[in-house]
Amino acid sequence: MKFTTPATTNPIDRLKVVGKPTDRIDGPLKTTGTAPYAYEQHKAAPDAAYGYVVGAAIAKGRIAAIDTAAAKAAPGVLAVVTHENAGKLGKGDKNTVRLLAGPEVQHYHQAVAVIVAETFEQARAAAALLKVEYAKQAGVYDLEAAKNAAKKPDEKDKPDTKVGSFDSAYASAPVKFDGTYTTPDQSHAMMEPHASIAVWNGDKLTLYTSNQMINWGKKDLAKTLGIPEQNVRLVSPYVGGGFGGKLFLRAEALMAALGARAAGRPVKVTLQRAIMINNTTHRPATIQRIRIGATREGRITAIAHESWSGDQPGGQPETAVMQTRLLYAGQHRMTRMRLATLDLPEGNSMRAPGEAPGLMALEIAIDEMAEKLKMDPVTFRIVNDTTVDPEKPGRKFSQRRFVDCMRMGAERFGWNKRNPVPGQVRDGRWLVGIGVASAFRNNIVTPSAARVRLGRDGRITVETDMTDIGTGSYTIIAQTAAEMMGVPLERVDVRLGDSAYPVSSGSGGQWGGNSSTAGVYAACVKLREAVAKKLGLDPAGADFADGQVRAGGKAVALQDAARDAEVVGEDKMEYGDLDKKFQQSTFGAHFVEVGVDAATGEIRVRRMLAVCAAGRILNPKSARSQVIGAMTMGVGAALMEDLVVDKRIGFFVNHDLAGYEVPVHADIPHQEVVFLDETDPISSPMKAKGVGELGICGVAAAVANAIYNATGVRVRDYPVTLDKLLPKLPPLRSA
């Protein structure tokens, strides 16, 4: 189905099931521990052996020699696989580095071997007996030191944009701001580690894995192993969090496949937490320079955003300037990205790549400029709103309710009570401040297919390789099918995460919910047509409701269409050139109140509010859950998350959940989420947009701005930790 114009008569608009705050249908399985995650597919491979991955002990160099004799002779060992006996391996299209090192080592903890044994303990013990000799080479691990050697990335990354003449407009602006900010490397730190079980049946491989993008993983695994795609099946019905870290094929999947082939039996592998952070991908650190010129009345006339990040050779930049191209008006504009070659683990997508770290800098800069202008920060943002793409003035936004988000948030949060002079509000020993930041994330739509069956028992079954990474895909897909086919939610079964099903959008970039349900919508349209014809009714005028099909004055039970055999509808939703005609984005506003201990500098977040404009909200309950989770990650980015680089050795020092700090329950106060009542008919027949990543965008800056309002201390280098606050806190005075 081609979606190029807004749907007119649209069954989804009935809103009997879609749009309702519905409990997660997979909830009972997850809360009782019976949902089979990748490492728990015991029925699929009851005789699985255990694989243990050995990571490289250097960050850059070569493997000079590997002695496997002692490991092979250890009790219970079935196989030892290294680059010497793995056979010829390729590299998947989505992988920047090879997943098995040898002889070259590209980063610390890159997999160098997998030990397969009868038990996990035997595999781990044997791994300690593996002897690897390395020829170490000097590497580059410091982004600041590599900044001057950074280069312009490939044009496919759209590294530079220019509108008007920034330099002259900035030079002549009455009020100017020029600031540099840094964001650190960050880890996805999801609860479920990377895990896979590999089962070979002759030359065919089935991989039970934890992966967000089934079709990508299938293609890359086939390419890496050098086997036909049709010989590979990926199964991933439940994913215990990903945040972008499971978008791509990772080492545990390949090592499970290689180990199973060598051992001649199924093998299960999980990346032990201690090597996971250095072995897999992370959000790259950035250095960002922002310059803004404005009139004395607060109109931006010139804005520039430059960003530097690093990655392995052949990698991509962290696209931290993307939101600046679209968020605020300004006639003269410039953005620029530069990429340094670093020998750290691969940098890649993490929740809201680009906008999340970009807004960490931009939204502090906007506050700093507002202070220079002596303007209220909310007012300054509203004054510089735009209804068209600032870089392509002929292209309008499909929907843009940014100002509504700002105004509603300010009213609900009590922004008018904010003291604009920093460090003036006390609550006992606490210095209290509130901050604001804009939220912005582009709305991406991707092709997505599904198959929908009407069974002889009257049940509807949906099949698509879409994944549920804790986001509620099972539920919104079931809601879509129930609405389209006119049946109660409990009569819908949803089957996800299997490459044997039609190829969906997958989960990533906040495109999954809108795109996958649009694919189910298209398949349901096909099923409705098939059912109507089988019942002898006019498909164009048929109404599906309450388990019946009505047309031409007749009403027939839906189930009657499948009396002899099931009826099947399958289709794919595609979008034509809509993205060229309209700019599709989501908008929001984040408001945060913090308390800072006047003596110790301890920071406590006291209140949080997010107001979001993201099209039709398909399930307000699960959407709210997504947003508060994203807000929590934003607090982590503001206050604690920092993969510390050992710049001598070239690895992340705090590479486990003991050393890499993330927010816990005690760190997070009550969070309020408001969704504007809107639909976007340009986006899809669901009239929805993504929301799961919008919730993190801007949060860290809102926290940092609140800290400044509380203390008068402006921190431009994340995270905002005690050592950056204490020396500059105002003198103690009696409460």
User: Which residues are catalytic, by number?
Assistant: 693
* Structure-block tokens of residue 284: 């790259």
Sheet holding 267-270, edge to edge: 77-81, 111-117, 49-55, 267-270, 195-201, 204-209, 232-235
Listed as own residue / partner, the contacts of 557-561 with beta carbons closer than 8 Å and 24 or more positions apart are 557/458, 558/454, 558/458, 558/485, 558/486, 558/487, 558/531, 559/454, 559/456, 559/457, 559/458, 560/535, 561/454, 561/530, 561/531, 561/534, 561/535
398 vs 445: CA distance, rounded Å: 13
Q: Could you give the CA distance from residue 359 to residue 259 in angstroms, rounded to a whole number? A: 43
Which is it for the CA torsion 153, 243, 714, 378, positive or negative?
positive
Residue type, 660: Y
C-beta separation of 599 from 730 below 8 A: no
C-alpha of 564 from chain center: 44
Separation between Cα atoms, residue 318 and residue 348, nearest integer Å: 8
Does 719 sit behind a cis peptide bond, omega within 30 degrees of 0 on the bond before it?
yes
Burial of 201 (0-12, 13-18, 19+ CB in 10 A): exposed
| Counts for the chain of helices (H) and strands (E), in that order | 17, 32
- Share of the chain residues as helix, strand and coil, in percent rounded to the nearest 5: 30, 25, 45
What tokens does 390 get? 């600032």
Nearest to 503 by CA among 448, 575, 570, 444: 448
* Sole residue written with tokens 């100017």: 176
607 beta partners: 593
Q: Find all residues with CB under 8 Å of 110, minimum gap 6, and list them.
A: 55, 56, 97, 98, 100, 101, 251, 279, 345
Residue type, 133: E
Enumerate residues 6+ apart whose C-beta is below 8 A from 121. Answer: none
Nearest to 300 by CA among 397, 363, 366: 366
Write out 261-292 in H/E/C secondary structure. Answer: HHHCCCEEEECCHHHHHHHCCEECCEEEEEEE
Q: Which residues of 128-157 are buried (b: 16+ CB within 10 A; e: fewer)?
A: ebbebebeeeebbbbbeebeeebeebeeee
- For 673, phi then psi, to 5°, come to -125, 130
d(CA 697, CA 360) in angstroms, rounded, equals 8
Q: How far is the C-alpha of 347 from the C-alpha of 337, rounded, in Å?
A: 15
SS (H, E, C) 204-225: EEEEEECCCCHHHHHHHHHHHH
Task: Report d(CA 387, CA 492) in Å as an integer.
Answer: 41
Q: Over the Cα atoms of the chain, what is R_g?
A: 27
Q: Which residue has the tokens 């982590």?
A: 636
